[in-house]
Amino acid sequence: MANINDYIIWRGDLPVSPEFPFNEVDSMVLARFSYLVMQKIDMDAVETVGDISCKMKDLPEGAFRYHGDMQLIHLMGESVRFNDMKVTDFVLHNNEEIEKQFGAVTIHYLENQMYISYMGTDASLVGWKEDFNMSFMDQVPAQAEGLSYLTKVCVKYPGRRLRLGGHSKGGNVAIYAGMNAPLWIKRAIISVDSFDGPGFSHKQVKEHEGDPILGRIQNYIPQDSVFGRILEHGEKSQIVQSDEKKLMQHDIYSWQVVKDHMVHLQELGEEGDMLYQIFADWLKESTPQMREVFVDGMFKLFASANAETFSGVRKAMMHNIPQVWKTYRDFPEEDRKTLIKMWMLFAKNYTNSFIEHKVYSPDDDVQDDKEDNIRENKKEKTAPESQTLDGKEE
């Protein structure tokens, strides 16, 4: 089977036009574009995809955030379909103090149409902390900045139609911006695409019930999706095929493509449903206050172990057990009780789910370790630099 990089090889000689219109795979390509390490090159206020590809040609694969990204930009730069698209308004803001990780870029794929691509979670602890904060907050800083960015771009380029998109948290931010935009911007939105992005609080979903913009929002999820089903969703969902297993299906490069569309499926897989239910029950049986204490506490423990990336947490914790234990002992007694209660709740739901589905095997633990090693070897890189709408560093 094939993925988005294969799509560019197959269809890259066909320009976006009435004969070969912008499609869902193009949207997935541009949603991925915001992950590229544009802070590592000298970005002008207006670039083309081809320019960026040339400027990145000497970067080693380890400089990119995720495996597959280097091939993506080189293929885009060589293609007729993407090469001449203008790229503007790149921003990257990581702020540990307010627990925000945000990135976005605008791609002008036609003369009067543009695509705002919101970056998903990077490898940084602050990025993952903000993700977990969604479990108890109605709004996180990346969502607020996503809406602000959308407004600024629409003011800067008046009269243009636009699409919004993003993978993972970027998809969530795209939906948030689209749902909360003022009416004059909503009227200009053609579509909003989230690729396995998490949902929202019950309050947020209820506030937007019946909003016409929901008819233009699509959440694409792989067959065993967990991330793209967490929290509540008011938008449509389309199941697509991934050739990976379990949580690794979140990797957008594993999603299968045929011609100008993804491989659509009618039903979710049983394994994904099982994993989702574990997290769903954990959320349902805890309060926002309990989740806040748990998330804050766990990330303080990660920090005490000097973990630099989320994928390195387990190794860092194992190498710094005395310091982690000391940090835990310094927590208020009530916080320690909450952490224990939340872990016991998770363990209960984990055990019940496997018993209910009767699919557990000791081999699963071996496979999980292999998948962890794969993640470690993908050389995820965090990008601490911050840049403004005009591409200049703050």
pLDDT digits 0-9 by tens, 177-214: 999 999 999 999 999 999 999 999 888 899 999 899 99
State which residues form the domain around 184.
4-268
Q: How confident is the model at residue 391 (pLDDT cuts 50, 70, 90)?
A: very low
Domain finish residue from 268, 301, 331: 268
Contacts of residue 333, defined as CB under 8 A and 6 or more positions apart, other chains included, come to none
Beta pairing class for 189-195 and 257-258: unpaired
Count other C-beta atoms under 10 Å from residue 134's C-beta: 22
Residues 280, 264 share a domain? no
Cβ–Cβ under 8 Å, residues 136 and 79:
no
Hey, CA dihedral for 65, 69, 71, 74, is it positive or negative?
A: negative
On whether both 291 and 201 belong to a single domain, the answer is no
Q: Confidence class of residue 350 from pLDDT cuts 50, 70 and 90?
A: confident
Would you say residue 368 lies in a domain? Answer: no
Q: What is the pLDDT of residue 370?
A: 53
Q: Please check whether residues 332 and 355 belong to one and the same domain.
A: yes
- 232 & 311 share domain: no
Q: Are residue 223 and residue 350 in the same domain, yes or no?
A: no
Give residues with Cβ within 8 angstroms of 268, minimum separation 6.
221, 223, 224, 225, 239
Q: What pLDDT does residue 362 have? A: 46
Tell whether 310 and 258 lie within a shared domain: no
Domain boundary among 223, 244, 268: 268
**β-strand partners of 102:** 93
Residues 127 and 241 in one domain: yes
328 shares a domain with 184 = no
Residue 252 shares a structural domain with residue 289? no
Question: Based on the structure, what is the number of domains in the chain?
Answer: 2
**11: confidence class by pLDDT, cuts 50, 70, 90:** very high
Residue 381 lies inside a defined structural domain of this protein: no
Q: Residue 176 above 80 pLDDT?
A: yes
Domain annotation covers residue 306: yes
Asked whether residue 379 is domain-assigned, the answer is no
Residue 272, token pair as written in the block: 């994904």
For 103-123, the DSSP string reads: EEEEEEEETTEEEEEE----S
182 part of a folded domain: yes
**Sequence letter at residue 369:** D
Beta bridge partners of 46: 88
Task: Tell me, yes or no, whether 332 lies in a domain.
Answer: yes
pLDDT at 351: 84
Domain C-terminal end among 209, 237, 268: 268
Is the pLDDT assigned to residue 215 strictly greater than 80? yes
What's the CATH code of the domain at 12?
3.40.50
Four-point Cα dihedral 90, 96, 98, 99, nearest 10: 80
Residue 372 lies in a domain: no
Mean pLDDT rounded to a whole number for the chain: 89
Same domain, residue pair 315 and 168: no
Rounded Cα–Cα distance for residues 138 and 133 (Å): 9
pLDDT of residue 307: 86
- 224 and 352 in a single domain? The answer is no
102 and 168 belong to one structural domain: yes
Is there a domain that residue 377 lies in? Answer: no
pLDDT tens, position by position, 76-123: 999 999 999 999 999 999 998 899 999 999 999 999 999 999 999 988
3-state secondary structure 288-301: HHHHHHHHHHHHHH
